[in-house]
Amino acid sequence: MTTLPPTSNPLRAGVLEDLSVDPCVLVIFGASGDLTGRKLLPGVYALAKNRMLPSAFGLVGFARRPMTDSELCAKMRGAVDKYARQKPVDDLVWDDLARGMRYVQGAFDDAAAYEKLRVTLDELDRQRGTRGGRTFYLAVPPDAVRTIVENLVRAGLCPPPGTGSAPYARVIVEKPFGVDLASAKQLNRDLLGLLDERQVFRIDHYLGKETVQNLLVLRFGNTIFEPIWNRNHVSHVELTVAEHIGMEGRGKFYEQTGLMRDIVQNHALQLLSLVAMEAPVAWDADAVRDEKVKALRALRPIRTAEEVQRHAVRGQYDGGVVRGDAVPGYREEPDVAKDSSVETYVAIAARVDNWRWADVPFYLRAGKRLGKRVTEIALHFKPLPHPLFDTSAMSLRQPNSLVLRIQPDEGIALRFASKVPGQGVAMRDVAMDFRYGTAFGHESPEAYERLLLDAMRGDATLFTRHDEVEAQWAFVDPISGAWREDRVPLARYPAGGWGPAEGDALMQGDHRWSKP
């Protein structure tokens, strides 16, 4: 039976309000894994609890270990009890979700398992009214992605848009998306040989964060910021993605990955492109991503060993004290080589070569075991052209900055100079601080909630497009290459500080890293 889009039903008009997801089954590959329990199921539950899911909804878990439907439900309930944002878990909401939950056991390369999956999906369509809508979430190791998509396509479960009887089939792919430019290109070729780009949702959970989206609203939903958002007024931009935790048992993963691939290539460059991009012509997936790609392509390449040495710093933490606790250095972490040269800190002085940003340094730093967990973007505005008042304090010569805090305490702060009350004209810098949690009295939804919802709705604005991923790799690849060949020294920093001194030396003139 063919299906009509729900909007052609006159009773649907206005009723959908916030229930704008079409009927859908979410199929999670890797359903017994860590990501599913920690993020995906709590996300699905929160959507259900806040009535953002359609009433025709089903969930299928796919993994290798044997499990029954009810064992999957029990496992998922345990995870939701532990990780849900809103506790205690509402039994009514959960029971309704659980009634639509199924498990399919199989290996990713086992064609028979996809046959079982198809039968399960058809059954759910009949029982839950999900009408053929499919979202496949690949919460699996990167090398399994191709195999799964091939099998889905072979089994006819993922037809291109506009063909076949299913209204839609989409695939969400987790990071890392490749390990370098060549592998990312290969993965894109593989995927786009099997699927349409409109079906592929490459997740970078940073884009699901409220403040990241708010950055776009701040820039393009207001009139006062955009006129000063350029080289005429901004002296430099700072981007910080800092974590205070170390390896937390992920030493083996880090030895293969390093911070550049784990954080800079994706999250940090996402933030940079959102700050640097031009206004999109519309709020839609392609228009927004076109502009982000343009900004990434305008990044001045850092290619030769000499350029890498001058504009980038890699570091690795030694033992130190973090939040009052003595912690070991990276090389003392479990599963880490005693002579490892893997970076746990990266700082880059980047340039965006276009009319808007010529000569404005974009300083980017990211690291593990830094002073605290904070992600923020700071735009520092130019110094006063001529001081009228006593500006002996450095901060008063360059009084204005706009700080966008992504985590924790999502918010925005504007720093400006103000007169100290009294007879004279003494100035002090003050901050106008806006925190989401406080102003809206609402917890922001978790990034995964938003992204799951968007993927189910088919809105790819907050997902990374193929050319965007490639532009990100194209920028970081040569830097990583020089590091891998050990042509640039590895700086050391004590855990709990703000990174190596070499990171400070990247800053030009009187620019300084601000203390977040």
Partner 1 sequence: MNTPVSDALGRIERELRALWQPDETGNTKPHATTLNLVALHGQDGCAFLETLEDVAARLGARTFVVNVDGRLEPWALEGDVSAVCRLEPGSLREAVCAERVTLRFGSMVGKRAASILDSLVESSLPTVVFAGPGAPASVLDALAGAAGALVIDSAELGVTRAAELAQRQSAQVHDLAFIRTRRWREMLARVFDEPALAPALGRVRGLRVLHAERTEHRGASAEAELLVAWLGARLGWTPGLSDAAGQAVEVSIESQARSGVIPGCMLSVALTAELPAGRLSARVERDADGEHLSWTVESPHAPTQVRRFATPRRDDAELVERAIRSFQADQLLRETLAFARSWKAHA
The site for ligand NAP (CB under 6 A) is made up of 30-36, 38, 63-65, 107-108, 139-142, 144, 174-176
Known catalytic residue at 267: yes
Q: Where are the beta strands (DSSP E) in 113-178?
A: 134-138, 169-173
- Rounded to the nearest whole angstrom, what is the least distance from the CB of residue 247 to ligand NAP in the complex? 14
282 touching partner 1, by CB under 8 A: no
Site string (31-60) toward partner 1, x via CB under 8 A: --------------------x---xx----
88 touching partner 1, by CB under 8 A: no
224 touching partner 1, by CB under 8 A: no
Residue spans of alpha helices (H) in 195-268: 210-220, 251-259
For residue 244, CA distances in Å to 122, 320, 347, 372, 395 come to 47, 11, 16, 5, 27
Place of tokens 């985590």: 407
Contact 365, 503 (CB under 8 A): yes
19 vs 228, beta carbon nearer partner 1: 19
205 touching partner 1, by CB under 8 A: no
What does the H/E/C string look like for 470-515? Answer: HHHHHHHHHHHHHHHCCCCCCEEEECCCCCCHHHHHCCCCCCCCCC
18 vs 485, beta carbon nearer partner 1: 18
Catalytic residue among 205, 236, 267, 380: 267
56-85 residues near partner 1, rule: CB under 8 A: 56
Q: Which does 142 bind (CB under 5 to 8 A by kind): partner 1, ligand NAP, none?
A: ligand NAP
For residue 85, CA distances in Å to 63, 126, 258 come to 25, 32, 30
- Rounded to the nearest whole angstrom, what is the least distance from the CB of residue 337 to partner 1 in the complex? 42
For residue 167, CA distances in Å to 52, 156, 162, 246, 390 come to 20, 13, 8, 45, 67
Site string (420-439) toward partner 1, x via CB under 8 A: -----------------xxx
**Number of residues engaging partner 1 in binding (CB under 8 A):** 35
Among 390, 440, 489, 505, binds partner 1 (CB under 8 A): 440
160 vs 249, beta carbon nearer ligand NAP: 249
Q: Where are the beta strands (DSSP E) in 424-464?
A: 427-435
* Nearest residue to ligand NAP on Cβ basis: 33
Structure tokens at 99: 């009634």
473-512 residues near partner 1, rule: CB under 8 A: none
For residue 58, CA distances in Å to 53, 102, 127, 133, 340 come to 10, 8, 9, 10, 46
108 vs 114, beta carbon nearer ligand NAP: 108
Q: Which does 63 bind (CB under 5 to 8 A by kind): partner 1, ligand NAP, none?
A: ligand NAP
* Region binding partner 1 by CB under 8 A among candidate stretches 6-14, 58-66, 181-189, 298-306: 6-14
Place of tokens 């329990």: 37
Place of tokens 């003392």: 332
Cα-trace Rg, the chain: 24
Among 39, 102, 131, 267, binds partner 1 (CB under 8 A): 131
Question: Residue 205 has what DSSP assignment?
Answer: G
Q: Which does 35 bind (CB under 5 to 8 A by kind): partner 1, ligand NAP, none?
A: ligand NAP
- Region for residue 331 given its phi and psi (left: phi exceeds 0; alpha: psi -120 to 50; beta: otherwise): alpha
- Rounded to the nearest whole angstrom, what is the least distance from the CB of residue 351 to ligand NAP in the complex? 30
- Rounded to the nearest whole angstrom, what is the least distance from the CB of residue 269 to ligand NAP in the complex? 16
131 vs 365, beta carbon nearer partner 1: 131
508 contacts: CB under 8 Å, gap ≥ 6: 349, 361
Burial code of 333-365, b = ≥16 C-beta within 10 A, e = fewer? beebeeebebbbbbbbbbbbebebbeebbbbbb
Q: Which does 68 bind (CB under 5 to 8 A by kind): partner 1, ligand NAP, none?
A: none
For residue 132, CA distances in Å to 45, 155, 166 come to 21, 14, 5
Query: Would you tell me which residues interact with partner 1 (CB under 8 A)?
Result: 1-4, 6, 8-19, 23, 51, 55-56, 92-93, 95-96, 99, 128-129, 131, 437-442
Catalytic machinery residues? 267
